[in-house]
């Protein structure tokens, strides 16, 4: 039976596929950490109140990168280079989604619109991260090695998503509603496509490593295309809606250490 659980179980059980999976995840998380660190440093004066939360957001993503690398270390595996076609963060940036790295490398303050773009972009990508982590925790939350780090990351991604909802609603109420809605829609549209392409590329690599029969690869690719079609037919709404989260001020405190894991 072909299920998401059996596919991820196979990926987890084989050193080469596990190494590629953790390398891709660690690299995406660290890129997210770097981006947030730079955004926190460049927040415009009028939005300085957000800087500690953006710093915390970045610290969490850096921690996730370390957690995925620690999983590799535990199995005495070295990270491998991330194939460009599987680099979700880089591909989003290339499609002009979020803030360009060039801009973040400069030492000029960002604008209020830049911060709206950052938060809207995060609203969409954190939804994806939270859904993926929830799926992994559902299947592997009790896994002896991976369970605890996965639960930690999942909880953080839920915090990040809650924070984006709360801050975007605050800014919408302050008169930025139209811009936020426009950016959310553009971002969700592009993200859906990038996610499909990256999923296809990752599964193609996994299929080669794990020597999947053609029928299995075809079925998995069909599943990825079906998810994309569903998102285009309205499933994207979950990526662009805003509602006040149950967790308020989710990034209000300092980053929590990954106690006992790192
Ligand atoms: Fe993360
Ligand atoms: Fe996150």
Task: Confirm whether 235 is domain-assigned.
Answer: yes
We report the CATH number of the domain holding residue 133 as 1.20.1260
Q: 158 C-alpha to center of ligand 1: Å?
A: 10
CB burial readout 97-108, b (16+ within 10 A) else e? bbbeeeebeeee
Judge whether 26 lies within some domain: yes
Q: What is the mean pLDDT of residues 227-249?
A: 92
Cα-to-centroid distance, 209 and ligand 1 (Å) = 26
**Count of domains forming the chain:** 1
Q: Are 183 and 242 in contact (CB under 8 A)?
A: no
What is the 129 CA–ligand 2 centroid distance (Å)? Answer: 6
User: In this structure, which ligand is nearest to the CA of 152?
Assistant: 1
Q: Provide the pLDDT confidence category of residue 236 given band limits of 50, 70 and 90.
A: confident
Give residue 212 CA to ligand 2 midpoint distance, Å: 31
- Between CA 49 and CA 185 the distance in angstroms is 26
Vertex 197 angle, CA 238 and 116, to 5° = 45
CB 11 within 8 A of CB 210: yes
How confident is the model at residue 1, as a pLDDT? 64
Between the CA of 125 and the centroid of ligand 2 the distance, in Å, is 8
Residue 216 lies in a domain: yes
At residue 135's C-alpha, the angle toward residues 195 and 201, to 5°, is 30
Domain containing 79 equals 4-240
User: Residue with structure tokens 């662009």?
Assistant: 240
The pLDDT mean for the chain works out to 95
Contact predicate 208/160, CB 8 Å: no
Whether the model pTM is above 0.75? yes
121 Cα–ligand 1 center, Å: 14
Tokens of 142: 């009790």
Find the 46 Cα to ligand 1 centroid distance in Å.
Answer: 27
147's tokens: 């369970």
> What is the per-residue pLDDT for 39?
98
**pLDDT above 70: residue 258:** no
Question: In 10 A of CB 68, how many CB atoms?
Answer: 23
Per-residue confidence band for 174, with pLDDT thresholds at 50, 70 and 90 = very high
Residue 57 falls inside a structural domain: yes
Q: Give residue 129 CA to ligand 1 midpoint distance, Å.
A: 7
Tokens of 53: 């939360």
Confidence of residue 233 (pLDDT cuts 50, 70, 90): very high
**For the ranges 96-100, 179-183, 217-221, 255-259, which has the lowest average pLDDT?**
255-259
Which tokens hold the place of 145? 């090695």
Report whether 224 contacts 203 (CB < 8 A).
Answer: yes
Residue 261: pLDDT band by 50, 70, 90 thresholds? low
Which 8-state DSSP code applies to residue 173?
Answer: I
Distance 214 CA to ligand 1 centre (A): 33
**CA 1 to centroid of ligand 1, rounded, Å:** 30
The answer to whether residue 262 sits within a structural domain is no
Q: Is the pLDDT of residue 26 over 60?
A: yes
Ligand 2 center from residue 58 Cα (angstroms): 8
And the tokens for 56?
């915390």
User: Would residue 222 count as lying in a domain?
Assistant: yes
Q: Taking the alpha carbons of 186, 188, 189, 190 in that order, is the dihedral positive or negative?
A: positive
Q: What is the mean pLDDT of residues 81-100?
A: 96
How many A from CA of 153 to the centre of ligand 1?
6
Could you tell me where the beta strands, DSSP code E, fall in the chain? Answer: none
In the numeric block, which tokens belong to residue 225?
A: 């295309």
Question: For residue 13, is pLDDT > 80?
Answer: yes
Burial of 172 (0-12, 13-18, 19+ CB in 10 A): middle
Tokens representing 51 are 């800087």
CA of 122 to the centre of ligand 2 (A): 8
Average pLDDT score over residue span 143-147 = 93
CB atoms within 10 A of CB 153: 25
Question: How many angstroms does the Cα of residue 184 sit away from the middle of ligand 1?
Answer: 20
Dump pLDDT digits (tens) for 37-49: 999 999 999 999 9
**Domain presence at residue 261:** no
Average pLDDT score over residue span 109-136: 97
What is the structure's pLDDT at 253?
Answer: 74
214 C-alpha to center of ligand 2: Å? Answer: 34
Report how far ligand 2's centroid is from the alpha carbon of 191 (Å): 15
Q: How far apart are CA 233 and CA 228, in angstroms?
A: 9
CA of 64 to the centre of ligand 1 (A): 5
Residue 254 lies in a domain: no
Q: How far is the CA of 114 from the centre of ligand 2 (A)?
A: 18
C-alpha to C-alpha distance for 49 and 43, rounded to whole angstroms = 9
């Amino acid at each position: 039976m072909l299920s998401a659980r059996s596919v991820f179980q196979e990926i987890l059980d084989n050193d080469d596929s596990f190494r590629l999976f953790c390398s891709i995840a660690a690299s995406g998380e660290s890129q997210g950490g770097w981006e947030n660190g730079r955004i926190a440093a460049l927040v415009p004066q009028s939005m300085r109140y957000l800087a500690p939360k953006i710093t915390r957001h970045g610290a969490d993503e850096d921690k996730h990168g370390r957690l995925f690398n620690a999983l590799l270390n535990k199995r005495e595996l070295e990270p491998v280079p991330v194939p460009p076609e599987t680099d979700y963060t880089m591909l989003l940036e290339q499609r002009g989604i979020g803030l360009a790295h060039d801009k973040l490398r400069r030492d000029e303050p960002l604008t209020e619109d830049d911060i709206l773009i950052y938060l809207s972009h995060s609203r969409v990508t954190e939804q994806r991260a939270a859904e993926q982590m929830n799926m992994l925790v559902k299947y592997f939350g009790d896994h002896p090695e991976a369970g605890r780090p996965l639960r930690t990351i999942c909880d953080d991604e839920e915090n990040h998503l809650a924070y984006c909802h709360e801050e975007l609603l605050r800014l919408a109420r302050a008169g930025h509603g139209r811009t936020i809605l426009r950016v959310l829609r553009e971002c969700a549209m592009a993200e859906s496509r990038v996610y499909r392409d990256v999923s296809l590329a990752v599964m193609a690599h996994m299929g080669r490593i794990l020597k999947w029969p053609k029928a299995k690869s075809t079925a998995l690719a069909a599943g990825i295309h079906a998810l994309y079609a569903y998102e285009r037919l309205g499933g994207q709404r979950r990526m662009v809606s805003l509602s006040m989260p149950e967790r308020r001020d989710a990034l209000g405190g300092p980053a929590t250490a990954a106690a006992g894991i790192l």
